[in-house]
Chain A
Amino acid sequence: MNRKKYFLDAQGLVKQFPAPKGGESLTVFENLNFGINKGEFVCIIGHSGCGKSTIMNILAGLDQASGGVVLMDNKEVAGPSLDRGVVFQNYSLLPWMSCLRNITFAVKSRWPNWSREQVYEHSMKYIEMVGLKGAELRKPSQLSGGMRQRVSIARAFAIEPKLLLLDEPFGALDALTRGMIQEELIKICEQTGQTVFMITHDVDEAILLADRIFLMSNGPNATIAESVVIDIPRHRDREQIIHNPHYYPIRNHLVDFLVKRSKELNDPDTPRVPHSDNARPAYPPEVNPATGQISKLIETETTEGNELTRQVVNLQ
């Protein structure tokens, strides 16, 4: 059996909103299939309105898809869980609690049987990791945006989730602070081997952080058009990465997609794969812009033991 098994597997996700006063309902995205391997850092890029945040909320269990299923570790995602840590764009710290309390309440939820000292030590470890030691007793309102986002990241890492979901975590930060926190994030992810799924608008940020980047076509009726492989070796840093020969081909490919192709794909004249009940999960083709290689996972059914076989086929 050479079935490729993803750690997180989204199959045929659809999100529809009923139109006000009857009429046709609005399909934000459809036929969405993607997988994330353990320890992988995946970014998703697309224009506003293609449903990125909705995908994030579905993965977090805060929202429900109109169709399709999300599996994590072969278990269906149904409702929020401490197995998936979420960092929201607006930090979502509880403003009446100190930074430390914001983390300890999460740690206490994760490990209810821990003693007060254990919870404190564990929380302090993550406060130190994001470089906020000394500010832990301050309220979020007394911190800058960058420091607040660090607390939020520390909280998400402190519960040691199997999957970390980041919803445009650096969108509200200035460029300098963003760069600093990105580097911290890289460092922490390398240390912990965390599996991350992140929404971003920033092409350079995505290349710096991700192993793969999902490109979404424009909404409505959006879908993931490609999965771009970033084969730039780690450890990456902001100054060195631009000298890598693969950097600009990848960057140009991404920008070209966002500027031109994301729109074309959404053109109603473009033939669309019909959505039917027996449609097999068709993962988006994996593209390596630097080498020009495109590979596609094709799913075939074999008679042996009712198992599905997936093969990697090189198209180019």
Chain B
Amino acid sequence: MDAFKNLNVRAALLSLVILVLFLTVWEQGNKAPQSDQPMTEYEQLMGGSEPQARVPNPSDIGALAVEELSDPFYDKGPNDKGIGLQLLYSLKRVMLGYLLAALVAIPVGFLIGMSPLMYKALDPFIQVLKPISPLAWMPLALFILKDSEISSVFVIFICSIWPMLVNTAFGVSAVKKDYLNVARTHELNPLRTAFLVVLPAAAPTILTGMRISIGIAWLVIVAAEMLVGGTGIGYYVWNEWNNLDLTSVVFSILMIGVVGMLLDLMLAKATRVVQYVE
């Protein structure tokens, strides 16, 4: 009875109720049309197929999920790879593009945040480049880089660089003057000032930028892989659509959501590590 008073317990129970309700309505409202007429010859040849394609039922998706997740890493050629393998391909691209973006965005953001001159000089470029849909870069990337794999990494790079850059610059420029005065009165050299004072002071803002970036990168990789093809979770979704296997499509949509959530959780945890109370 006491456990029931806990807000978290009650919220979890409510979530469960909503889920069950939603799935029940879906399952019940999406039954195959019943027919009293005997099957036609064509239907018999097709193994009793339905006259109309339908969105799959939760039970079908659940069954597929169990099957797929029990062997997620199998590889039976280019068109038949396990969901885990596809996700790993996507994660590899995201991580590569994201880390490259961090390597560029954080030092450049530091520079912009430290120097009002650089801030003013680079601001117009950032403002114009930031709103460009990352996929708009794809043709140019394919032409210049001549490799679809590298191009998709580039698209991730270009989409995740902006939030990190802008947040780093903001965090660095907003470091309290008191902290900088502490650094000055203790004669810290620029390098020690950067690592002992500015970086820790700006870290929560920088990490927030990194969290926004990883979210955007995970959104963009699906679209990028649909364009580029070959491997990855985006390609998988599109491939299953071409196979008219909607059960797999819905299942992979769910998996995209789960992985995206895990990425966000990781960054949220990292943000908490560098958070400080004034």
Contact = CB atoms under 8 A, between A and B. Distances in A.
A279 B178 CA distance: 36
B179 A94 contact: yes
Contacts of A110: 186
Interface in B97-138: none
Contact of A80 (B184, B201, B203, B276): B184
Nearest to A90: B178
Contacts, number: 57
A80 B185 contact: yes
A57 to B, nearest CB: 9
Contact of A109 (B179, B187, B278): B187
A86 interface: yes
Given A88-B178, A90-B178, A105-B196, A95 B185 contact: no
Contacts of A62: 181, 184-185
A85 interface: yes
Give chain A's interface secondary structure class: loop
A82 interface: yes
Interface size class of B (residues with CB under 8 A): 10 to 19
Contacts of B274: 96
B182 interface: yes
A97 B181 CA distance: 16
Interface string B256-274: 0000000000000000001
A96 B200 CA distance: 7
Contact of B278 (A79, A82, A88, A141): A141
Interface in A68-87: 79-82, 84-86
B186 A92 contact: no
A61 B192 CA distance: 19
B264 to A, nearest CB: 24
Nearest to B181: A62
Contact of B197 (A60, A84, A94, A159): A94
A106 interface: yes
Given A96-B276, A141-B278, A88 B181 contact: yes
A85 B187 CA distance: 11
Contacts of A253: none
B45 interface: no
B185 A94 contact: no
A38 interface: no
Interface in A92-148: 92, 94-97, 105-106, 109-110, 139, 141
B201 A85 contact: no
Nearest to B176: A92
A86 B276 contact: no
A110 B200 CA distance: 21
A280 to B, nearest CB: 32
Interface in A134-181: 139, 141, 159
A92 B201 CA distance: 13
Interface string B189-213: 0001000110011010000000000
Contacts of B21: none
Contact of A92 (B181, B187, B196, B276): B181
B273 to A, nearest CB: 10
Interface in A258-308: none
B175 to A, nearest CB: 11
The winner among A82, A92, A110 for most chain B CB atoms within 10 A is A92
A84 B185 contact: yes
A62 B178 CA distance: 11
A94 B200 contact: yes
* Shortest 4 CB-CB contacts between residues of A and residues of B: A141-B277, A96-B276, A80-B184, A96-B200
Given A61-B184, A141-B277, 12 more contacts: A60-B185, A62-B184, A62-B185, A80-B185, A80-B186, A82-B186, A88-B178, A94-B179, A94-B196, A95-B277, A95-B278, A159-B186
19 contacts: A60-B185, A62-B185, A80-B185, A81-B187, A82-B186, A82-B187, A86-B185, A90-B178, A92-B178, A94-B201, A95-B277, A96-B203, A97-B200, A105-B196, A106-B186, A109-B186, A109-B187, A139-B276, A141-B277
